[in-house]
Each structure stands twice: as structure tokens, then as C-alpha cells.
Amino acid sequence: MNPDFLLFANRLADISGERIRRYFRKAHGLQLKADLSPVTLADREAESLLREAILKRYLDHGILGEEHGAHKPDAEYVWVLDPVDGTRAFIAGVATFGTLIALAHKGEPVLGLIDQPITRERWTGGKNVPSRLNGEFIATRRCESLNEALLSTTSPDLFAPAEQEAFRRVQAKVKHTLYGKDCYAYAMLASGHIDLVIEAGLKPHDFCALAPVIANAGGVMTGWDGAPLTLHSDGRVIAAATPALHREAMEMLK
Amino acid sequence: MNPDFLLFANRLADISGERIRRYFRKAHGLQLKADLSPVTLADREAESLLREAILKRYLDHGILGEEHGAHKPDAEYVWVLDPVDGTRAFIAGVATFGTLIALAHKGEPVLGLIDQPITRERWTGGKNVPSRLNGEFIATRRCESLNEALLSTTSPDLFAPAEQEAFRRVQAKVKHTLYGKDCYAYAMLASGHIDLVIEAGLKPHDFCALAPVIANAGGVMTGWDGAPLTLHSDGRVIAAATPALHREAMEMLK
């Protein structure tokens, strides 16, 4: 992979972080109004800035963004953007939301970046790019079995009934479950603190940036069916610290 | 209230924070072992230091701690301690856990302190002590109705079945629900970002520090029955940004 892509992704996160920090915990009393809420402004304005920077630098690349839709989605390289993943955490003033920036090559995410602009933590990783947190190499924990695992999911309300049941089967086996960590849970998995994250209903802009960071920290992130994640995956994801744990969890989800 | 109590509570949080920071995200791979985990060490060692400081300064005060039990629990003044509230978040490397320090007078919490030692955020409030975050005055948001409210609860798994049902009735009415924020959710309520927190199964060391911070920021925190929280409350709590919201939520829980 062109090493410029990682440098450029970092530059993008600098741009979005600067804009997002302006709106965090601001405009007391406005947060829940639909059109002018700080989180909506942060999300839209940051995405516009990122798109502008990408178009200026890589004219032939595509862009998929949560807020402003698709531009050349069938290009060889597509940038996948979500400036504020975890909007409820943002609204609530809790710094577990994050900015997700991915680069997909022929539909497959090959570079991922997770940025927490308030705590100034940034995870990166990709094909032939070992995963790092703020420049330091990271690795997943060597947890090989569900009964030792710390499981995380953002909200039990995001599962359809059959998915909920499958999730409960895994949950019944693990050591601890925690909720509500958004993309930060995947970052903590890559850093070796959480062992398993299971979610459903995600969009490409929610998961494309996560998979490369986890895979290049020693973990595994796929669909519930074990297939590699692509721009066309169904949004049911499983991220695990080790291949053995991934296998065991996937069996239970079936 | 003796103004020394607030100064002393701040001193206690300085002591616990210093110790807790030593263990956060440390000892990769050990976190889930029962007896020597970093979170257990952080919790026990910090509580020992706090007890020592209290005994040295206020010989006639009682102490209730999560880790080391009760000392003179019937004293006029009792310090109520939980160095690491949110142990799962701590284990997972997420800074939504907190240190809770309360002073109860004749069983009623009159001073509360919530400290986040990683982000260095500290909330204080008490009888005749306006609530503050790092010295700045704070106030709850003026949310008066469930359909405008942002609701938080740490885990749906903490409710007994009948409680779960009552919680779901409230949840069906609110604008958004978020999970997994531990004591940080109450701090964010006091700061005007979250409107409602409903939990059950809490112990005095979980809730005594929260109620004074919320009450003196303009909110209301009681049991599900509306009774003021005391050292003898049943652990079902409701914290709301305004009296009107508190009333509406309490009705739905019945």
C-alpha cells in the first residue's frame, strides 16, 4: 500500500478532530434539537472538510460518508468516513465516540483509523501496517476462550429478536459483558483490554475502519458468517482478540 | 456544614487518584484474574489509603467502604467510599469509571464527590455547597418531559425482571437511551448533558456520592419510591434533571 495513504489519513483526522472539539459539550440545551444540534453540526461540517481534502488530493478516489452520501462508490480506492461514530455518547458528553476513517481497495478495507479527538487517542492499522495507538505498537490480548472473555456491545436494543437470542447465547458463556462503548470498544480490543465485540445493524462507515486496526493487532474481525468485511457486508460483525475466540463465538452465534 | 469537609474530600480524591492511575491499562493479560487484577489492587489499595487518612483526621467519624467494610457505621458522620465504581469499564480501559466519596450525616448524604482520575475531571456538591466540575459551577439541563429526555443506565442485566419491565416503560417514552456509563452518567446529568438515569441493585457506596452533586446542580435523585436516599435505601435509584421529569419518570416506574 502507498505509504502516503496512512499519512493522509492522519491528516484527515487532524482536520476532523479540530472541528469536532468545537462542538463537544457545547450549546447546553440545544443537543436534542434535530437540525441544529452540536452533534449534527460536528458530523456534517467535519465530513465536508474531509471530502474537500480528499477531492483535492486524490481526484480519482471515491468517497462514502455517513452524512453526505456516495461519490464514485465504484472507484478502485474509496474513502469511508464517519466523523462522529457514537452520536449518543457525543450528545451525552462522554468521550467514547470516535472518528472513523477507512480506505477500501476494490471494496475491501485495507487501512483503518479510529480517532478520539477529546482524549487525543488515535489508532491506526492496515495491510502491512502494524496497528498502533498514538504511534506505539499494540496487540490484542491472548484470550482463547469465551469463559475468560470480556464481551462488549453498544446497545442490546440494536439487535433484531433472532440476533438478540444469538447474542444472549454468547453472553451466557463469557466472563463479563459491558455496554455502551461504541467504536471505542473495538479500539480497546485492538489495545488488549477487551476480548470480544459483537454487534449488528452496522453500516460500512461504522465497521470499515475497525477491521484493519483489529486484524493488524493480532485479532480477527468478520461478519457473523466468518466472511471478511467489505463495503457490501450485512452489518453483523464479530471482532475477537484471537482466532480461537473468534471461532468459538461464531459457532455460538449460528 | 463544616467547610473543611469539602477540602478534605478533595484531598482524599487526590490520594486515591494517584494510586488508581498506577493501575489503569496496566499488567496486560492479568486483568481478569480474580485476586491480583489491577482493578482489585487499585480498589483495595486506594481504599486503604483513604481510610488511613480519615482515621488520622476525624477519629470519631465512621467509614463504609466497598472493599474493607464498615467502621463505626452508626457515627454521626460516616464517610462512604468506592475508589473504583465501574470496575468493568476500568478493566476494559475506558475512563467512565470513577472514584466516589460521600459524607453522610445521621445517615443522609450531605456531601458528594465524583472523581475521574484519568481525564482529571472532578465533580463536587453538597448541602449549601453548589455543585461544580473542576471548580466551575454546573447545572442540570431544563428537560421537563420524558419525550425530550436522554436516558442512561449502566446495564440492562442489573434489573430484576419486574424492574426491567418498569424500566422498559420509561424507555419507551424517552428520546434516546444510552448504556454503560457507570457513575459518569450521573456526573454528566449534573453537568447538563444527560437528563435521566435509572438503576437498581446499587449499594450505598454506589449512590451516596451522587445524590448531593445532582441535588445541588438543580436535579433530583431519590429512590424509585421518591424517598430521599440514605445509607439504608434499597438501591433502586432515579436521578433526573428537573423535578417535573423526576415526577413523570417515577409515575412510569410504579
Q: How far is A168 from chain B (nearest CA, A)?
A: 11
Residue of A nearest to B194 (CA): A92
**What's the rounded Cα separation, in Å, for the pair B149 and B147?**
6
Question: Helix, strand, coil proportions of chain A in percent (round to 5)?
Answer: 35, 25, 35
A-contacting residues of B 211-250, CB under 8 Å? none
Contact B148 A32 (CB under 8 A): yes
How many alpha carbons fall within 13 Å on the CB side of residue A78? 24
Nearest CB neighbour to B141, from listed A29, A188, A191 = A29
* Position B36 confidence tier, pLDDT thresholds 50, 70, 90: low
Q: How far is A141 from chain B (nearest CA, A)?
A: 6
Assess whether pLDDT exceeds 70 at residue B27: no
Assess whether pLDDT exceeds 80 at residue A30: no
**What's the rounded Cα separation, in Å, for the pair B238 and B253?**
10
Lowest mean pLDDT among A156-170, B2-16, B33-47, B149-163: B33-47
**What's the rounded Cα separation, in Å, for the pair B109 and B125?**
11
**What's the rounded Cα separation, in Å, for the pair B49 and B130?**
28
Nearest CB neighbour to A150, from listed B92, B154, B178 = B92
The per-residue b/e assignment along B134-154, b for 16 or more CB within 10 angstroms, e otherwise, is eeeebbbbebbebebbbbbbb
**What's the rounded Cα separation, in Å, for the pair A19 and A7?**
19
The per-residue b/e assignment along A153-184, b for 16 or more CB within 10 angstroms, e otherwise, is bbbbeebeeebeebbeebbeebbbbbbbbbbb
Residue range A32-86, pLDDT digits in tens: 445 567 888 899 999 999 999 999 999 999 999 988 889 999 999 999 999 999 9
Question: Helix, strand, coil proportions of chain B in percent (round to 5)?
Answer: 35, 25, 35
Contact B92 A178 (CB under 8 A): yes
The pLDDT value recorded for residue B200 is 97
Task: Give a three-class secondary structure readout of B79-146.
Answer: EEEEEEECHHHHHCCCCCCEEEEEEEECCEEEEEEEEECCCCEEEEEECCEEEEECCEECCCCCCCCH
What backbone phi and psi angles, to 5 degrees, belong to B59? -60, -30
**What's the rounded Cα separation, in Å, for the pair B196 and B222?**
12
In percent, the amount of chain B with pLDDT more than 70 equals 96
Assess whether pLDDT exceeds 90 at residue B66: no
How many alpha carbons fall within 13 Å on the CB side of residue B14? 8
Contact B150 A32 (CB under 8 A): yes
The pLDDT value recorded for residue A67 is 83
Instruction: For residues A235-240, give the mean pLDDT.
Output: 97
Bridge-based pairing state of the strands B77-85 and B98-105: antiparallel
Instruction: For residues B129-154, give the mean pLDDT.
Output: 96
Does the beta carbon of A178 lie under 8 angstroms from any beta carbon of chain B? yes
A-contacting residues of B 90-109, CB under 8 Å? 91-96
Nearest CB neighbour to A181, from listed B94, B143, B148 = B94
Assess whether pLDDT exceeds 60 at residue B198: yes
The answer to whether the CB of B84 falls within 8 A of the CB of B43 is yes
Contact A92 B178 (CB under 8 A): yes
- The rounded mean pLDDT for chain B is 94
The pLDDT value recorded for residue A36 is 61
**Strand, helix or coil for residue B34:** coil
Taking CB atoms and an 8 Å cutoff, what residues of chain B touch A177?
155, 157
Instruction: For residues B206-224, give the mean pLDDT.
Output: 98
**Strand, helix or coil for residue A97:** coil
**What's the rounded Cα separation, in Å, for the pair B90 and B101?**
17
The pLDDT value recorded for residue B32 is 44
**What's the rounded Cα separation, in Å, for the pair A115 and A9?**
10
**What's the rounded Cα separation, in Å, for the pair A179 and B52?**
35
Contact B178 A89 (CB under 8 A): yes
Residue range A163-220, pLDDT digits in tens: 999 999 999 999 999 999 999 999 999 999 999 999 999 999 999 999 999 999 999 9
Residue of A nearest to B181 (CA): A180
The answer to whether the CB of A187 falls within 8 A of the CB of A98 is yes
Assess whether pLDDT exceeds 60 at residue B31: no
Residue range A100-132, pLDDT digits in tens: 999 999 999 999 999 999 999 999 999 999 999
A-contacting residues of B 138-177, CB under 8 Å? 141-143, 148, 150, 152, 154-157, 175-177
Instruction: For residues B237-250, give the mean pLDDT.
Output: 98
Assess whether pLDDT exceeds 60 at residue B29: no
Instruction: For residues B53-82, give the mean pLDDT.
Output: 95
Does the beta carbon of A180 lie under 8 angstroms from any beta carbon of chain B? yes
Assess whether pLDDT exceeds 70 at residue A31: no
Q: How far is B111 from chain A (nearest CA, A)?
A: 24
Does the beta carbon of B29 lie under 8 angstroms from any beta carbon of chain A? yes
**Residue of B30, B31, B134 to mutate, testing the A interface (most A Cβ within 10 Å of its Cβ):** B31
Assess whether pLDDT exceeds 60 at residue A29: no
The pLDDT value recorded for residue A124 is 98
The pLDDT value recorded for residue B40 is 85
**What's the rounded Cα separation, in Å, for the pair A201 and A98?**
18
Nearest CB neighbour to B155, from listed A96, A179, A191 = A179
**Strand, helix or coil for residue B169:** helix
Residue range B70-104, pLDDT digits in tens: 999 999 999 999 999 999 999 999 999 999 999 99
Nearest CB neighbour to A177, from listed B25, B157, B192 = B157
What backbone phi and psi angles, to 5 degrees, belong to B29? 95, -15
